[in-house]
């Protein structure tokens, strides 16, 4: 009787630990081959056949198709430069320059990777349509109220993520630091 009980406890612990760890890693991802530049992270190997098992599980769970390496690379950010989670009720400024790429796009997603509806049908910017300063840099204001210039509406969503995709770019598996890939800064300038 006691043996059965102990075996049962062992199996229950095994199930909880095992599946719990899988759920955690598939939802949040594991930092295998992750490039981290400022608030931005990318996993360029996700777009190759060398994709690690954790990223495969994460891709299968979310239902996305990773950007292939010959196509480009996707950086995502869920926090600002100080590590504070991006909040759609705050005024956030994405500013600076981007790494070398033929085209890039900046897109606003909810935490599950869905686009967020707004009346302007403005879900992001491409490198062609963005308004730049005289130095070639740009400044995007991610806020819930309308702003002049490059305005990306948040719809007041409390949590969101930004994706910066570089297309036809040398940035990839070999990239390590800000020097290889100068990413724009993300700063929370004010919260109501």
Q: Does 49 bind other proteins (CB under 8 A)?
A: yes
Binding footprint of other proteins, residue count (CB under 8 A): 65
Number of H helices, E strands in the chain: 2, 10
Report the nearest approach of other proteins to the CB of residue 105 (Å): 5
User: Would you state the structure tokens that stand for residue 97, as one six-digit string?
Assistant: 């320059």
For the chain, the distance separating the N- and C-terminal CA atoms, rounded to the nearest angstrom, is 62
Looking only at residues 110 through 169 of this chain, which bind other proteins when binding is defined by CB under 8 A?
Answer: 112-117, 121, 123-124, 126-129, 163, 165, 167-168
Looking up tokens 């290889």 gives: 180
Q: Is 75 in the site for other proteins (CB under 8 A)?
A: no
C-alpha dist (Å) from residue 1 to 6, 10, 13, 15, 87: 9, 14, 19, 21, 54
Residue ranges that bind other proteins, judged by CB under 8 A: 2, 6-7, 9-22, 25-26, 46-49, 51, 53-54, 56-57, 59-72, 74, 102-103, 105, 107, 109, 112-117, 121, 123-124, 126-129, 163, 165, 167-168
């Amino acid at each position: 009787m006691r043996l059965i009980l102990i075996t049962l406890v062992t199996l229950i612990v095994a199930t909880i630990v095992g599946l719990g760890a899988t759920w955690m890693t598939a939802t949040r991802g594991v930092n295998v081959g992750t490039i981290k530049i400022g608030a931005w992270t990318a996993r360029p190997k996700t777009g190759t056949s060398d994709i690690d098992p954790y990223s495969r599980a994460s891709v299968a769970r979310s239902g996305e198709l990773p950007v292939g390496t010959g196509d480009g690379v996707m950086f995502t950010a869920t926090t600002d430069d100080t590590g504070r989670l991006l909040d759609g009720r705050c005024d956030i400024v994405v500013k600076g320059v981007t790494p070398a790429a033929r085209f890039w796009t900046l897109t606003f997603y909810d935490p599950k990777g869905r686009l967020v509806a707004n009346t302007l049908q403005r879900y992001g910017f491409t490198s062609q349509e963005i308004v730049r300063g005289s130095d070639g840099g740009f400044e995007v204001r991610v806020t819930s109220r309308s702003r002049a210039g490059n305005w990306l509406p948040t719809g007041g969503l409390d949590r969101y993520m930004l994706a910066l995709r570089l297309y036809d770019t040398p940035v990839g598996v070999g990239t390590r630091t800000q020097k290889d890939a100068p990413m724009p800064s993300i700063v929370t300038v004010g919260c109501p």
